[in-house]
Structure 1
């Protein structure tokens, strides 16, 4: 089962016990203005429907209770989370400001692990321990491949299984 972007934010919020007001602040730091009501709609699981025809007729009611989280929203949230946890960093002379890279085809899961590593000031050892606590063994080489830049010869896409277990491990460590 594919993990949706909304699931990622729901699990992350639970794992790190982030309050709704902090979620609004984090989105704002990432460059997206949302209200507390918007956050609640983002953190709501969509209604599952088995029949596509039902979707056609019920779209308007579903949209009122649910906001689909895009890749760029997740990236903005994670950038805001880094700023929220570590403070605003002044760009060095000659270095561009951090921008949301919506054109990147990089897996949201890879981005999630990279940005959480930065935000929570985790070492690779810390990350391996978090995976271990979730009951999954990841080698240093595998983690290194997941954290590499897309296009690198050793880059490896992070599967949902790893992202889900990492968030589960975070919940065990931080709760």
Structure 2
């Protein structure tokens, strides 16, 4: 799934203005401007569209975690991921919203997508693990839709 689509979904889900997205990136350790964010939130074919790279997406997701849960000063900051995958987006959203397995299963069920606990656990495994499963675009899209329904009603 495109980072721009994820960014748009998170923005809509939390009803954030462009300035709030800038604040999320700043909390994640990256300074960007409101103009850059506005360009990233444009439709793909609109003039002024700016692609959201993995680095920016990683900082915004890290900032979302800090925004929702607070910063843990007892630990050193984690390094920012160089490559963002659907699995990593799912993991970071799970952490940010403090979701348990059953919460995620319920969220996906509200978006008309049934998943078992075993299938769900495979999405959170390390890529080299024998039971690892890559998160597809459809699953992530439905998860974002279900989480939006949960938060916005």
- Shorter-chain TM range is over 0.9
Counterpart residue number, 1:5:
3
TM-score, structure 1 normalization: 0.81
Q: Which residue of 1 aligns with 2:36?
A: 38
Aligned to 1:78: 61
The answer to whether structure 1 residue 166 and structure 2 residue 143 are counterparts is yes
**CA displacement 1:112-147 (0-9 Å, x = unmatched):** 110011001111111111000001001101110001
Is the 1:91–1:97 Cα contact (8 Å) retained in structure 2?
no
Q: 2:95 aligns with which of 118, 140, 164?
A: 118
Could you list the per-position Cα deviations for residues 24-53 of structure 1 after superposition, in whole angstroms to 9, with x for gaps in the alignment? Answer: 1100111221122211111111217xxxxx
Match of 1:87 among 70, 75, 80: 70
Q: Which residue of 1 aligns with 2:119?
A: 142
2:109 to 127, 132, 143: 132
Give 2:130's aligned residue: 153
Please tell me whether residue 101 in structure 1 is matched to residue 63 in structure 2: no
Deviation at 1:100, TM superposition (A): 0.8
**Equivalenced residues, count:** 152
Q: Which has the larger radius of gyration?
A: 1
Aligned-pair RMSD on alpha carbons?
Answer: 1.5
Gaps of 5+ in 1: 49-61
* 8 Å CA contact retained: 1:42, 1:66: yes
Per the normalisation by structure 2, the TM-score is: 0.92
**What is the CA distance between 1:165 and its match in structure 2?**
0.1
Gaps of at least 5 residues in structure 2 are none
CA contact (8 A) 1:75 1:111 kept: no
